[in-house]
Amino acid sequence: MSILPKLKQLDKMVADGLIIDAFDRFFDDKVVTHSENGDRSNNKAQKREWLVKFFSLIQKINSIKLHGHTVTGNVSHSKFTFKFTTTWGDKLVFDEVIRRTWKNGLVVDEYYYEGELPTSKSTPSSTKRKTTPKTPAKRRAGAPRNADDLTKIEGIGPKIAGVLQAKNIKSFGQLAAAKPERLRKILAEAGPRYKMHDPSTWPQQAALAKAGKWEQLKELQSKLKRGRK
């Protein structure tokens, strides 16, 4: 059974601004949502809670444009540009592709990334960040020398890690010593996409990683939602 009819209905609801309604209708209770920035939710309830909180901070939906979508088997890709105004007056622009995996007519996995719609049957692979840290933490490919893999911290993906490294926060020790206020300022300066992230637990997580307390870090991360307590 083709998923295209349901995809068209879902994308139309999203384009019309009915994002939470579309989520309620087309997503499985055990859906996993994640992005290249390191955001992750492990079920429908977690993601819905985040959506409600996000839209409570949005004063106006300026525009939502669907650029197109493709389907290969049970995987769809849709490209959108979202433009919002927050309650404090900032303009947010999200230009992204949404890759969805479907099962029994519902979305069971959703991944967001910046890029273009795939032009062939091959689908772009996501770099899924494991929630369970490995021992020892290895330097991520492309990261500066003498740098720790900051993506081991719940809430930090490759792009945010790059933003922090540009501000000379390259190790677990440097992140552990950073005040949340400084981290929020760094994220705000990096742009609206990053400003929405909450770094309040990052120093605590980094301190555990620096000390090699991986089991304690795993326990802490199991209690977090998108890096937040």
In a domain, 123, yes or no: no
In a domain, 191, yes or no: yes
Domain end call among 59, 87, 113: 113
Residues 79 and 172 in one domain: no
Residues 12 and 93 in one domain: yes
- For residue 8, what pLDDT is reported? 97
In a domain, 137, yes or no: no
Residue 196 burial by Cβ neighbours in a 10 Å radius (0-12, 13-18, 19+): middle
Residues 13 and 105 in one domain: yes
Closest CA to 209 of 149, 164, 168, 160: 149
Residues 107 and 154 in one domain: no
In a domain, 205, yes or no: yes
- For residue 134, what pLDDT is reported? 41
In a domain, 83, yes or no: yes
- For residue 146, what pLDDT is reported? 59
Tell me the pTM.
0.62
Residues 173 and 82 in one domain: no
Q: How many Cβ atoms are within 10 Å of 105's Cβ, its own excluded? A: 11
In a domain, 132, yes or no: no
Q: What share of the chain is helix, strand, coil (3-state, %, to 5)?
A: 35, 25, 35
**Residues whose CB is less than 8 angstroms from the CB of residue 149 and which lie 6 or more positions away in sequence, other chains included:** 137, 138, 139, 140, 143, 161
In a domain, 127, yes or no: no
Query: Residue 21, Cα to own-chain centre: how many angstroms?
Result: 20
- For residue 196, what pLDDT is reported? 79
Domain end call among 113, 139, 172: 113
Domain end call among 66, 89, 113: 113
- For residue 88, what pLDDT is reported? 80
Residues 50 and 107 in one domain: yes
- For residue 132, what pLDDT is reported? 43
In a domain, 33, yes or no: yes
pLDDT digits over 32-83, tens only? 999 877 778 889 999 999 899 889 889 999 999 999 999 999 999 999 999 9
Tokens of 114: 């910046």
- For residue 124, what pLDDT is reported? 44
Domain holding 204, by residue range, is 150-222
Domain count across the chain: 2
- Yes or no: say if 76 and 118 are a contact pair by the CB < 8 Å rule: no
Please list the ranges in the chain whose pLDDT falls under 70. 1, 120-146, 225-229
